[in-house]
Amino acid sequence: MKKTIQLQIVVGITLALLISNAQSHLFTNFPVYDRGGLYEKSKEAEWPYYKDGAFGPVRFNVQHACGHTEGAMVTTKQVAVVIPTSTTVKRIDTTLSGPWNFPNFEPAYQELGPASPDANGYDWAVQFVKPHAHAAFGKVYPIMGKTSTGEDIPRALIWVGDHPDNNDADLLSTMFFPEIPEASCVKEVQYFFPSAQFCSTVGQANSVSGWLLGTTNEWSKERLGESEVQWSLTVSMLRDLNTRPLPSNCGTGETIGIYPSREDIDQYLRPVSVDKKGHKVHQKSVDWWLKQREKHHND
């Protein structure tokens, strides 16, 4: 996997939003390590980055539980992340003009067409995913599906555990991203990962916080943790213009957005039920989760 594109990890948290919104956001954190010492060099840049073909870690950070209600004993029981992969992944019109510059929630983002492959035959889907368990989320379950080449790949990752409010948890997954083709005019690819927290509070009905670019049939605006801007976990991949310059007809180059289809979000961004031995896992609906009620802590 000796490639030459750059990958950068966007830390998706803005001070202005944190001041205006009592609920802290689920976001992508800095990497904890890399292969080849490239992260040390990236500290000199505005965003951290990796060389292309980046086969390395992405960290999804959880700081608060759903709603972040002061004084309530609310805990995050599950975190779900949908991977922008497989033949149904889409190119979208949403891109970030700079770090944390998420566009307004309205107008809604638009799907521009398939991304695996796209109209030019380029495949932008994430190609490899390996999740890792966390101390607060002792189990992580990949929900499998097919890639564009027919191989199995996690379409979603579901971390299950018991994470109290006001505590940090970095959920780690190793990923492999595709090359930016030499003949393309693309200089940057921004990957958006729809995600959700599924929470519980003793004696109360369960709650959810979805972190999506927009609504879907299953994820109404009321179920989203942020609806002022199109907030989503974000990973940005840069072309190495030194070793692979843009073709002469490309001008300054193009930035594209990659995101799961609305249908895939509804299919995969869901909680799971797990038997006591942790062997049988079944995805459930968001409505199912919201109807549950925790009688005792750690139920």
Q: Please tell me the total count of domains within the chain.
A: 1
Domain annotation covers residue 299: no
Domain annotation covers residue 84: yes
Domain annotation covers residue 278: yes
Domain annotation covers residue 233: yes
Residue 47 lies in domain: 6-291
Strands 55-62 and 233-238: unpaired
Q: What is the pLDDT along the chain (299 residues), one digit of tens a residue?
A: 333 333 333 333 332 333 233 345 665 654 544 444 444 445 555 555 666 667 777 888 787 778 655 556 788 899 999 999 999 999 999 998 876 788 999 999 999 999 999 999 999 999 888 888 888 888 999 999 876 677 888 999 999 998 777 667 788 888 888 889 999 999 999 999 999 999 988 878 899 999 999 999 999 999 998 888 898 888 888 888 888 899 999 999 999 999 999 999 999 999 999 887 767 899 999 999 999 876 555 55
Residue 164's CB: how many other CB atoms inside 10 A? 14
Domain annotation covers residue 298: no
Domain annotation covers residue 279: yes
Domain annotation covers residue 180: yes
CB-CB contact of 89 with 116 (8 Å): yes
CB-CB contact of 213 with 192 (8 Å): yes
Domain annotation covers residue 192: yes
CB-CB contact of 97 with 104 (8 Å): no
| DSSP assigned state of 221 | G
Q: Which amino acid is at 274?
A: V
Q: What is the pTM of this model?
A: 0.85
